A = this chain, B = another copy of it.
Amino acid sequence: MAEDLSQLKNWQKKIHEIIFGYETTGGKLFDVALLLVILASVLTVMLESVQEVNRSYRVQLKIIEWIFTFLFSVEYIARIACSPKPLRYVLSFMGIIDLLSLIPTYLGIFIDGTHALSVIRAIRLIRVFRILKLTHFMGGAEQLGNALWYSRHKIIVFLGSVLCIVVIIGTLMYIIEGGKNGFTSIPKSIYWSIVTITTVGYGDIAPQTLLGQSLASALMIIGYAILAVPTGIVTSEIMQSERRLNSVTCSNCGSNDLPKRSNYCLNCGENLLRNNSQN
């Protein structure tokens, strides 16, 4: 939070400290309260969708939802008001989520049923990591994100292959089962292929002919073997990122993978302690 707050007025600074900060008592209390309110509001929307509850407490739930939305709206305006660069907050990931979690309730006035979309405010719960000892979780999240990012090329190649397989096998099944037993169209057969290759297996569509069951068996064994590929990719990346965290790179010759506490570079003899202390 290395933002320049000097251009803010005093009341803005105070609100900023409470809403955005999490070091002061006020900031911590605000965060805990916010989390409870978010949880309660998500639960309200969920309960509203349960018919038995909705029939008895329709009006009460509606009122509670509007109170929550009003609170979030005030919070959103306050966040804009006390930001040194309001636009930067509005366009940030959390800013967009904050806005998106407000819209559905207002939209619900005009279009029926859409207010349920306000469960998107569940994403706001990731603020919880600020209350918990932040850095550990951020480190974990960053490492996972990096592992997925570094392996993106392999994941795209993998997903492309899977898509080709499901399209072709889905079509074959459509021809083999002859449009019966649930395989009524190619898109539906492809849906069945995805359900099968991911080993979900609902069973609402299932081959009945001998040839269809043989092809399905082949697809399952392929899916079985293929399931190993993304796991291998991600595991490999996680372990490399782990190694990267536990090693240093020589600033002189560029050798990486040196043990973290090395005094001298194994390759060129550069004094690493001196360099590291400068960082």
Interface residues of A (CB under 8 A from B): 42, 45-46, 49-51, 113-114, 116-117, 119-120, 122-123, 125-126, 128-129, 136-137, 139-141, 143-144, 147-148, 153-160, 162-164, 167-168, 171-172, 174-175, 178-179, 184-188, 190-191, 194-196, 198-204, 206, 210, 213-214, 216-217, 220-221, 223-225, 227-240, 242, 253-257, 259, 261-263, 266-268
Whether B154 lies near A143 (C-beta < 8 A) is yes
Question: How many whole Å from A168's CB to the nearest CB in chain B?
Answer: 6
Whether B238 lies near A217 (C-beta < 8 A) is no
**Chain B: CB-nearest residue to A178:** B113
Say how many copies of this protein the assembly contains. Answer: 4
Q: What are 12 A-to-B residue pairs whose CB atoms are below 8 Å?
A: A45-B171, A46-B186, A116-B174, A122-B163, A123-B164, A190-B217, A199-B200, A203-B203, A227-B227, A232-B237, A255-B259, A256-B259
Evaluate whether A136 and B119 lie within 8 angstroms (CB atoms) in the complex, with A227-B231, A261-B255 already known.
no
CA distance A185 to B49 in the complex (A): 5
CA distance A163 to B107 in the complex (A): 25
CA distance A104 to B18 in the complex (A): 49
Whether B175 lies near A232 (C-beta < 8 A) is no
Highest count of chain B CB atoms <10 Å: which of A122, A153, A223: A153
Q: Which residues of B contact A158 (CB under 8 A)?
A: 144
Q: Which residues of B contact A167 (CB under 8 A)?
A: 42, 119, 122
Give the interface SS of chain A, mostly helix, strand, loop or mixed.
helix
**Chain B: CB-nearest residue to A151:** B140
Q: Which residues of B contact A128 (CB under 8 A)?
A: 160
CA distance A139 to B152 in the complex (A): 12
Whether A231 lies near B235 (C-beta < 8 A) is yes
Q: Which residues of B contact A155 (CB under 8 A)?
A: 225
Whether B220 lies near A195 (C-beta < 8 A) is yes
Whether B240 lies near A235 (C-beta < 8 A) is no
Question: How many whole Å from A180's CB to the nearest CB in chain B?
Answer: 12
Contact partner of A144 (CB less than 8 A), chosen from B140, B229, B259, is: B229
Highest count of chain B CB atoms <10 Å: which of A45, A174, A184, A217: A217
Q: Which residues of B contact A162 (CB under 8 A)?
A: 221
Evaluate whether A50 and B123 lie within 8 angstroms (CB atoms) in the complex, with A224-B198, A263-B267 already known.
no
Whether A230 lies near B238 (C-beta < 8 A) is no
Evaluate whether A225 and B220 lie within 8 angstroms (CB atoms) in the complex, with A242-B236, A267-B259 already known.
no
Q: Which residues of B contact A234 (CB under 8 A)?
A: 228-229, 231-232
